[in-house]
Amino acid sequence: MPASSASSFTGAVATPHTLATDAATDVFRDGGSAIDAAIAAAAVLTVVYPHNVALGGDLIALVRSPDGEVTCVNASGWSGAAADVDAMRAAHGTELPARGADAVSVPGGVRGWEALHRMAGRLPWARLLQPARHAADAGVPVAASLGVHLADPENADLHGSADFDRVFRPGGRLLQTGDEFRQPALAATFAALADGGPDEFYCGDLAASSVKYLRSHGSVLDAHDFADFQPEITAPESVEFRGLTVSTSPPNTHGFIMLRALTAVDEFQTAAPLGADIGTLMRVFHHANRLRSEYLADPRLAEVDTKALVYDDIRAATPIGDAVAARSVPRGDTVGVATADSDGWAVSLIQSVYHAFGSGLVDPDTGILFHDRGTSFSLDAESPNVLAPRKRPLHTLMPVIVTRDGELSHVLSTMGGQGQPQILTQVLLRMLDGESAADAVAAPRVVVGQQSLGCTDDSVVVEADADASALASLHESTFETVVLPRHSESLGQANVVQVGPRGQLTAAADPRADGSAVVVQYSRHHRRS
């Protein structure tokens, strides 16, 4: 009879919801890879965190393989072939809405999972979706973050929609934290995805239902827009910083902002970028935000000079003043998942619906909530980010992987909308200065820009427990300072994995979310003849 042997492995995962972390941990114990674990976690998050992520949203991920190569999976969806900027101007004026079908681009997330699974998936596709299917079918308690966003007056515009209310106001009562949250239509959708694979979402009955539903609300998306979509697999953008290679996603994403900030910290020889010199760092981010607004777009359909965005005029500053308040702030927008395994695979996965609950459209036949990423397009004909057929919008998702001499060092992910590069920069700097992963993600944060309700481009949002020297630096600047309570969710939910000097994995989840971090030992059995 053939004998069997077992090899011991280690996996690490951090997510913003404990059920997603549990799903990833079980995948590791079943012999799965870091990629398998990330997919399983992301799938569960579409069930338990729909204010931040859904099957009808986008995904951007970085993957580090055992040979040291880092690859970007850009599964940000495109506009329809029939997209017409003049028609959108006639309908909406100068800006696309954040709600409704005109804000919906093709959701890229499921194709993103497929691309990841093809790289190093060890477990069957259906196995990875099983925890999400079970959570949707059996029900889960409403998470604290979801309960807060359902009750938020900023989302009251969604109440009264029959499709939204069917899911989130069953029996006419708005779900509250701790209530049972069941989604039978979404459970059936996961069953169909498990049986039919990703093609079911883009070419099968699920795609047909999505197109029919969206077009009934006025969308120009059609079956070909879904069927033709494929993610872009590309090299990341990177900079060298303190002996490390910091990699993130290239345009159409704003990962360049983090790379520019790290370059500035190096060039300025900033002694305390998160303390007495944080005002200087905020000016770097403030100017980078302006560059994002003026120059970032889909490089397949617009000219985007990434090197210039990272390196040019690094000491330039944008004047402060005369900014206007944001019409809508994407505060509950995204989930970040970080995984790694002792085989050498690592994943930073970011998935999103953009604004809280995205477009607000929920297909009653499938339970799929659709994002509103298309609202990021400009309607200004002079903007490189102007709406055009089959174009991807400017994107705030940005995964990060850090290596040292080709070996994995850090995996970072966060939600936080326009503040993602600022949040990740601060978390990384803290870890490089010796803080533990747990302390780094829990530490107070500072973000410049439209990060909270009523803020402008010139606002700096800071948590109340920030270091006294940092608060003094901000008060000395000419930014408008907005102080929020400790561990405010609007300043992000970061999740990280760190590799120690002897190769040991540690993980940390942000206390601003409902998540957890686990390092698990597991075995894989091998048959011997």
Mean pLDDT, residues 378-395 taken together: 98
pLDDT at 5 over 60: no
Among 3.10.620, 3.40.50, 3.30.70, 3.60.20, name the CATH number for the domain at 234-330+397-528.
3.60.20
- Residues 29 and 524: their CA atoms lie apart, in Å, by 8
Task: Give the pLDDT confidence score for residue 526 in this predicted structure.
Answer: 54
pLDDT digits (tens, 9 = 90+) for 295-319: 999 999 999 999 999 999 999 988 8
Q: What's phi and psi for 261, nearest 5 deg? A: -65, -45
The percentage of the chain sitting over the pLDDT mark of 90, rounded to a whole number, equals 91
Tokens linked to 471 = 């608060």
pTM confidence score? 0.96
Q: What's phi and psi for 384, nearest 5 deg? A: -65, -20
Mean pLDDT, residues 20-35 taken together: 98
Spell out the residues 6+ positions from residue 1 whose beta carbon is closer than 8 angstroms to its own.
Answer: none
User: Which residue has better confidence, 97 or 455?
Assistant: 97
- Residues 407 and 427: their CA atoms lie apart, in Å, by 20
Contact between 180 and 139 under an 8 Å Cβ cutoff? The reply is yes
Handedness of CA 309, 312, 314, 317 (dihedral sign): negative
Rounded to the nearest 10 degrees, the angle between the axes of helix 109-120 and helix 125-138 is 140
Tokens linked to 235 = 């090299």
- Residues 336 and 398: their CA atoms lie apart, in Å, by 9
**From the CB of residue 434, how many other CB atoms can be counted at a distance below 10 Å?**
8
Residue type, 327: R
Q: Give the chain's mean pLDDT.
A: 95
Spell out the residues 6+ positions from residue 362 whose beta carbon is closer than 8 angstroms to its own.
Answer: 163, 164, 166, 167, 368, 369, 370
* Catalytic site includes residue 478: no
Spell out the residues 6+ positions from residue 41 whose beta carbon is closer than 8 angstroms to its own.
Answer: 13, 15, 20, 21, 23, 24, 337, 339, 349
Q: Mark out the alpha helices in 121-176 (DSSP H runs).
A: 125-138, 144-151, 162-168
- Residues 17 and 40: their CA atoms lie apart, in Å, by 12
Q: Which residue has the tokens 């990699």?
A: 247
- Residues 164 and 143: their CA atoms lie apart, in Å, by 18
If DSSP states are collapsed to H, E and C, what string results for 13-43?
A: EEECEHHHHHHHHHHHHCCCCHHHHHHHHHH
Q: Which of 143, 66, 467 is nearest to 275 (CA)?
A: 467
| Pairing outcome for strands 244-248 and 237-241 | antiparallel
Contact between 339 and 412 under an 8 Å Cβ cutoff? The reply is no
pLDDT digits (tens, 9 = 90+) for 444-502: 999 999 998 888 999 999 999 999 999 999 988 889 999 999 999 999 999 999 999 88
- Active-site pick, 334, 396, 403, 414: 334
- Residues 19 and 41: their CA atoms lie apart, in Å, by 8
pLDDT digits (tens, 9 = 90+) for 189-207: 999 999 999 999 999 999 9
| Domain limits, CATH 3.60.20, in the chain | 234-330+397-528
Tokens linked to 265 = 């910290």
